[in-house]
Structure formats: structure tokens, C-alpha cells
Structure 1
Amino acid sequence: MAAPTNTFTSTAAVGNREDLADVIYRISPTDTPLLSLAERVKAENTLHEWQTQALAAPGDNAQVEGDDATADAAVPTVRLGNRTQISRKTARVSGTQEEINTAGRKKELAYQVSLKSLELKRDMEYAITRNNVAATSPRKTRGMVGWMDAANVNAGTGYVAPDYINNVAQTDGTQRTFTETQLKDVAQKIFTSGGNPNTLMLGPTQKQTFSTFLGNSTRFDEGEDKKVVAATDIYVTDFGALKAVPNRIQRPRDAFVIENDKVAVAYLRPMQKAPLAKTGDSEAVMILAEYALENRAPTAHGGILDLS
């Protein structure tokens, strides 16, 4: 039915105010699992170093009664290090835009700074999960992939483990399907090496594959709640329980088995913001952090690598 003659409708009106919600819905995820898991420590130089200590291997220890004591061989420490990496983001807003009445935020520059801070954290997560060698120009911190010990890895054909002592990156192998057997293999290898891992960190695709691992369990449908449980979050190995943590930012081909207290992020300069010099009709703020991944004991961790 048509409107009565001369009915003034919204399509003809000129002065109607726009209807713009005063909320901005952010769709990009901001979780940084490894950065959040790692302890926060202080770095005091661009080459951040630490030491590891191993005990002598256990062996037969039976002594003759009345014998004189002699000194046993000392096991020296191993000195490890990583380079600090500078990561930054810059927000710049014109003077005009800063004065305009905006929807969803009070001031544009403050809003842009908050976004760039979140983006910087995601970039840091990217760095500490990747396979960079500890480069010097520009400095790059060696990520988790670059700390994999050959003894604790299950990888595809052609894989060559990194040499974190001599700063040589790994060579990726042929990709293959993630299996429960691979996970059990790495858990056993880490335990044999002296580690006690408690976290399995993996990409979304591998998390779904992981949830199909049955172990010794039987799946049940919770019929009365009309709910099917198809996810696994804790996997109990023969050597301890692993909490599965999905990570959107790490490489999909890598699954890390981590002992939480043996990994940290060392900050030479914690995340900070500073106004930049005014060079025209705009305001700029730089957000910056300088940091290094501190893998306190590479043999405490392991990886199922080259996953498809």
C-alpha cells in the first residue's frame, strides 16, 4: 500500500542525523600465548646471556671402605645467549582529525596508540615463535623454533636441527600429518633429556587434529545436555600432563612441547611510548620494545615439526 499523498518521508528529508553506534568492534584477535606464558625478566645488554648446568651422568658408585676421597670431575656450565630485537609501531594523526568529534573513541591519537600497542605485542609473539637466527643488523632474537634440541624433536625427512651455540638456523623438512605417536615420542625424548614439560602449544589446524587423539580414553556424548564434546585440552602422557594451548601466530607446521618455567622474555627496554618531534600539522607517538627470548634449558623443551 502506498503512503498518503504529501506524506513527508525519511527518503526526502535532508536534516536527519546519521545513526552510527558509539562502539567500535575489533575483529582481530589479540592473544599472545607464548609471550603471556613466559616469565618477564631484565636484560642489560643487546647480547643477553645465561648459563645452564647439567649434572654428571648417574653411574655405579661403590667405594672401598677406608679409601681416601679424591675429587670428582666437575661439569662446567654452558653459556647461552640471544640478541635483543627492537620492535616498534608508530601512530600519526593530523591536527584536524584530532579535533573532530569521532564515534567510538574520544581522541583519535589515543585510540590509534592503543591499536598499535596491540599490534606490537602480536609482532613480538611472531618473533619469539619463529626460526630467526640471532642476527645483528637489524638485530633479531632467535625464536622458539631456533632453540629446538635435536634430541627432542620429531620432524619430517630432511629436517636439520638448529645449532643455537654457533647461531645456525634449522632446515625445515618434508611436511606430514600430525599423529599421536609423534607426540608420545617427543614427550619420552624430553623426559629422557631431563625435562618436565607441561604445555603443548600448536596452531589451530593442529589443535583440531590433537583433539582426535584418544590415548586410553573413550569419548562420550552428553545426550541430556544435547552437547557433543569433541575437544581435548589436557593430554596425560606417561611423563606428565600437557595442557594444549592454541596459538594463531606461530607457524602452523610447528607444535612446541614446553616446560613453562624454562622459558622467559628478557626486556632491555620494556614496551614504552614516546611522542615524536612535531614536524607539521600532525601528532605522532612511537611505541617500542626491545626484548629477547630466553630459553633457559633447550633440552627441557621439544617439538613436533614439519606438520601439514
Structure 2
Amino acid sequence: MTVPTGTFQTFTQKNIREDMINAIYNVDPYKTPLLNMAKRTKADQTYHEWNTDALAAQNLANAAVEGDNPTSQTLTPTARMGNNTQISNKTVQISGTSQAVIAAGGTNKMGYQLLKKSKELKRDMEGILTYNQGRSAGSSTTARTSAGLPAWLYTNTVFQTGGSPSGANPTLNANGWTDGTSTRTYNGTTVAVTEAMVKQVLQKVFNSSGECPEYALVSSVNKQNISAFSGPGTRFTEVEDKTLHTAVDVYESDFGDVKIIPDIFLAHSGDMFFINPDYVRVAYLRPFQTVPLAKTGDSDQKMLITEYTLEMGNEHAHGAIFDTNG
């Protein structure tokens, strides 16, 4: 059918307004379970310290003679531990013209960008706290760094040995503790996580601390691998977690229930951390704050900044599986 001659059509019309809704659709995965579950505490120096202790080994020869005077026993002092604070920030700079024009998403462009950057900053921190880096005091030209979980966990770990390189835990210091200065070595070969590995690490944690870790932080791949466990006695339930404000799967182990939490911001997807939140904290020297920066031209600039460190209360309370193909 032919359009009548002279019909005015949109193809030549010059005054049509755009059709754009006043919203911005942002894929926004920002849940940070380790930051949420770790207790929050205060740091007073760039090197944050705490004390760690452990009970003496069981003495099966502890039998005293009636009426005898007790002999003096050697007391073991607490281990003085510490971690360096790390500064993380995000900046937003918006020109005066950009703030003046009408755009989708509302008029508060600075507020929108700051909200977006605050979520990005938390995602960075989640990865940094689980990153295989050692602590460093830094210098006038080098940033300080906080030791992440892999640099602290030694006693209750399951990993692949052999291969090139051969998997290895961090080095212990002279007092027999990890101190965050040494990082772990990953194996060159990865394997799929098995229920036997999970049972092994939970048994290690129980034997070492007498407790069962409450959470397991895993990648999305390892979450699916765990959900596929189908051995005899494998039991899963679903509960509402008030700390993480979400429904989670619970693995019913021989030593207690473990909530399986997928964490897509793990620094290394092959790492699986079994966490007792009573023995890990994030210490803040400077809590989250927004700092206006000097105005040097036709723009406004603000910085989101925080200074924090990982406080590993006692590594015996936690566990980890490394070298998985998560």
C-alpha cells in the first residue's frame, strides 16, 4: 500500500523528544559476606596489635602424690600479633556542566556516583581481606598492605601437594604462629572440591579449637559443587541468616551446622574459607568517610576513603581448602 503524497511522517519530523525513563538500570552485585560477618573494632595505630593464646597439650600423666608440694610449671606467654592498616579509596569528579544538564536518574549526580563508588569500595575490601598478600608497613612511596586470610591460615588447611609449584602453607615465625608476613604457595594443579575435603577441614577445626566454624565462604562454582554432594549422610537444610539477611544452605556436619555462603568477590575463586566470626575482626583506623577535595576548576571532586586491617583473633578457629577449580 502506498503512503499518500504529502503525508507528514516521523522520519522527517525534527521536534520529537527522546523517550528515556528517569531511571538507571545498574547490575549491582555488591554483597560482601566477610565484611558483614566479621566483628568491627577500632585500630589506634597503623600497626594494629592483639594477643593470641592456646591451651597446653593434654597431660595424661597428670597425677599428684598425696600431700606432696606441687612443682613450678613453666607458663607460656601470649603471642603478640599484628597487622598493618591499608588505605582504600574511590574518587568522584563531576564538571559543573555535567551537574547542570538534565539527565536520567535524577538531579543529584554526585550522590548517585558516591553511592555507586561506596559499593565498589566494599567489593574491593572483600577481595583484599581474602587476598593472598602479606602485611607491609610501606614507605613514603609504597602503600601499606594488610595481610589477607591466606597469609594467616596454617593449622586447619587442606590443599594439593606436589606438582609445580608444590602447594604450601605460610611460614611459621619463631614462636610457632603465622604472623601475616609470609604468603601461601598455590599448587599448579587444581581439583574439584569433594565432601571428603570438607569433612577433613571441619575435623581439623574441631580438633584444633573444639568448635565448628559457622560459615563457609565459597565461589559460585564451589557452591554448586557442594550442593551436588550426594554421599551417605550428606544433609542440607535452608535457614534465614540474620547477620547476612538472606536465606542460606546449611551443611549439617558431624561437628555442627555450617552455612554455605557464595562470595563472588573472593580474591581467588579456588579458595574456600571456613570462618568462626567470633575470632576474626575488621579493625578501622579510619571508618568510611566522604572527604571533599580542593576545587581547582569547573568541577567538584569528592573522595571516599577508609583505613582498615584484618584482625585474625586466632587462626586455630578457622579453616580453608585451597587449590580447587572453583
1:11 paired with 2:11, answer yes
Report the AA paired with residue 277 of structure 1. Answer: A
Return closer, same or farther for 1:71/1:196 CA change in 2, 3 Å cut-off. Answer: farther
Task: Compute the displacement of 1:62 (Å).
Answer: 2.4
CA distance in 1, matches of 2:76, 2:40: 29
Corresponding residue of 2:30? 30
> What is the TM-score of this pair, normalised by structure 1?
0.91
Corresponding residue of 2:242? none
Task: Compute the displacement of 1:67 (Å).
Answer: 2.1
> What is the TM-score of this pair, normalised by structure 2?
0.86
1:148 paired with 2:165, answer no
Could you tell me whether the CA contact under 8 Å between 1:55 and 1:75 is conserved in 2?
no
CA distance in 2, matches of 1:76, 1:219: 42
> Gapped runs of 5+ residues in structure 2?
172-177, 237-246
1:181 to 181, 196, 202: 196
Corresponding residue of 2:284? 267
**How many equivalent pairs are there?**
297
Task: Compute the displacement of 1:8 (Å).
Answer: 2.8
Encode CA deviations 1:97-133: one digit per residue, 9 max, x unaligned: 1111121132222221111111111111111010110
Deviates more, 1:53-62 or 1:279-288: 53-62
Return closer, same or farther for 1:169/1:67 CA change in 2, 3 Å cut-off. Answer: same
Task: Compute the displacement of 1:4 (Å).
Answer: 4.7
Q: Where do 1:35-114 residues align within 5 Å?
A: 35-60=35-60, 61-114=62-115
Report the AA paired with residue 84 of structure 2. Answer: R
Task: Compute the displacement of 1:232 (Å).
Answer: 8.3
CA distance in 1, matches of 2:148, 2:231: 31
Could you tell me whether the CA contact under 8 Å between 2:91 and 2:304 is conserved in 1?
yes
Could you tell me whether the CA contact under 8 Å between 2:83 and 2:180 is conserved in 1?
no
1:257 to 255, 274, 281: 274
1:165 to 157, 179, 184: 179
Deviates more, 1:279-288 or 1:156-165: 156-165
Task: Compute the displacement of 1:2 (Å).
Answer: 4.8
Corresponding residue of 1:235? 251
Q: Where do 1:211-250 residues align within 5 Å?
A: 211-217=227-233, 233-250=249-266
> Gapped runs of 5+ residues in structure 1?
221-230
Could you tell me whether the CA contact under 8 Å between 1:271 and 1:287 is conserved in 2?
yes
Task: Compute the displacement of 1:162 (Å).
Answer: 1.2
Corresponding residue of 1:228? none
Task: Compute the displacement of 1:59 (Å).
Answer: 1.8
3-state DSSP class of the match of 2:23? coil
Task: Compute the displacement of 1:270 (Å).
Answer: 0.5
Task: Compute the displacement of 1:52 (Å).
Answer: 1.1
CA distance in 2, matches of 1:40, 1:218: 34
CA distance in 2, matches of 1:82, 1:249: 22
CA distance in 1, matches of 2:230, 2:278: 28
Report the AA paired with residue 127 of structure 2. Answer: Y
CA distance in 2, matches of 1:107, 1:58: 64
